[in-house]
Amino acid sequence: MTQEVIINLTADLLKTLAHPARIKILKMLSSGERCVCELQEQMVLEQSNLSQHLGILKKQKIISSRKEGTKVFYSILYPNILQVIDTVEEVLGQQINHSQFLLRHLK
């Protein structure tokens, strides 16, 4: 695989994560498998919108689903994806701290 292909695949994965609803879904799934009905209860989204976000995550192979009777359960395929979110949140915290530092020293 060429470096260019890897860069493009990385960008595609990050684009998949670039929506608040999808990050929230992954955080909800971080504690384990969830029924779509549970996700629906906690998300402020229409069922069709939630299904669209789940479909995007599934297409990117970040989550998987299984059917049990009439219920569909989702889980994270690669738990390391949560480390990506954690790292981004750490960087945001550092940026905020740096901005606060600059503001204090500008006064």
**How high is the pLDDT of residue 107?**
65
> Does 28 reside within a domain?
yes
Domains in the chain, number:
1
> Does 40 reside within a domain?
yes
Mean pLDDT score, 55-79 = 96
CA angle 95, 97, 103 (to 5 degrees): 105
In which domain, by residue range, is 16 found?
Answer: 3-78
Per-residue model confidence as pLDDT tens digits over 75-97: 999 999 999 999 999 998 888 88
Q: pTM, whole model, 2 decimals?
A: 0.86
Residue 93: count of CB within 10 angstroms of its CB = 10
pLDDT at 1 over 80: no
Q: Which of 48, 51, 43, 36 is nearest to 20 (CA)?
A: 43
> Does 96 reside within a domain?
no
> Does 22 reside within a domain?
yes
CA separation (Å) from 46 to 17, 40, 49, 82, 90? 19, 8, 5, 25, 31
Q: The domain that contains 31 carries what CATH number?
A: 1.10.10.10
pLDDT at 105 over 80: yes
> Does 41 reside within a domain?
yes
> Does 88 reside within a domain?
no
Do 25 and 54 touch, CB atoms closer than 8 A?
Answer: yes
> Does 95 reside within a domain?
no
> Does 13 reside within a domain?
yes
Mean pLDDT score, 27-55 = 93
- 3-state secondary structure at position 64: strand
DSSP state for residue 45 in the 8-state scheme: S
Per-residue model confidence as pLDDT tens digits over 7-37: 999 999 999 999 999 999 999 999 999 999 9
